[in-house]
Amino acid sequence: MSYVNPKGEFDRDTDYITTRITRDGRDGYPVEPGRYRLVVARACPWANRAIIVRRLLGLEDAFSIGFCGPTHDERSWTFDLDPGGVDPVLKIPRLQDAYFRRDPDYPKGITVPAFVDVPTGAVVTNDFAQMTLDMSTEWTEFHRDGAPQLYPEEHRDEIDEVAKRIYTEVNNGVYRCGFAGSQGAYDKAYDRLFTALDWLSERLSDRRYLGGDTITEADVRLFTTLARFDPVYHGHFKCNRSKLAEMPVLWAYARDLFQTPGFGDTTDFEQIKHHYYEVHTDINPTGVVPKGPDLSNWLTSHGREALGGRPFGDGTPPGPTREGERVPEGHGAG
């Protein structure tokens, strides 16, 4: 849950369930193929990260994935995309059922992504930032052949530093604009957001990716916000100094990633728009979902190959998206 403080500023609740799934099982949940289910919603940028990392690392056989629908009510995300509105593995209609299985008095927001322990039906963790790092570091035994190094040990300090700024100023910055409860709070949030986007444009002007020549965790974290920028944040959240398509470096960078297996093929623009415009009734009380923008430009040439680099380093691209996990026809670009 999040709220607007007395100054009209958006505050995100960051008190997550921090239990971890680790190789040594020190929190009671050891890495074990087939034991856990990753519950996501394609609409959510935090969950989209987990979908991307799972696919890039080839962890499809290590843990299953369940997709909630794009909208939710005040109680919970729901499995309305599944037959009968029930998750086929967990046998529950609402994600909150798994949270309450862990803690019957769970007082916080029911968020995605979440790892659920299938044998008990209880949520293990919803600590989205740690979850993707653990996919890179704790699940290595189950990575596909050719999996990229998204969190290489020698670059972790730099990745962490960049990722922290992306989170506070960009990932969360757009929400700070959208949910500002006063003009002063909005103006301050707007300036912070575009200061950070200008910094990122400068950083990416002479390097293909945030960490240099290969894709890392930092790129995944930035991409999911950039993908939502023009369809949602520019208008709905009033982040309207300029569209992503009007920021040349970031626009080329975002298209480069979008056209890389694992990124664009996990992005569902229809669900993204329906989520934001229908759920945020305080911002958009009519619930009307805009028809635009035209998304075919995501597939246009980006020219970033001129900077060199190898997207997957010494690794290889992931194969085709699994049956049952593909973005529905007509929900992507083009």
| Span 206-234, pLDDT tens digits | 999 999 999 999 999 999 999 999 999 99
Q: Is the pLDDT of residue 1 over 80?
A: no
End-to-end CA distance of the chain: 35
CATH-assigned architecture of domain 154-307 = Up-down Bundle (1.20)
Secondary structure (DSSP) of 146-213:
T---SS-GGGHHHHHHHHHHIIIIIITHHHHHHT--SHHHHHHHHHHHHHHHHHHHHHTTS-SBTTBS
Cβ-based neighbours of 302, under 8 Å, separated by 6 or more: 252, 253, 255, 256, 259
For 246-256, how does the pLDDT look when each residue is reduced to its tens digit (9 = 90+)?
Answer: 999 999 999 99
Is residue 233 among the annotated active site residues?
no
Is residue 44 among the annotated active site residues?
yes
77 is in an annotated binding site: yes
Confidence of residue 15 (pLDDT cuts 50, 70, 90): confident
User: Annotated catalytic residue: which of 44, 68, 177, 239?
Assistant: 44
User: Annotated catalytic residue: which of 36, 99, 175, 186?
Assistant: 175
Q: pTM of the full predicted structure?
A: 0.96
| 1-15, 38-52, 303-317: least confidently modelled range | 1-15
Question: Where in the chain are the domains?
Answer: 2-142, 154-307
Confidence of residue 40 (pLDDT cuts 50, 70, 90): very high
CATH 1.10.3720.10 fits 2-142, yes or no: no
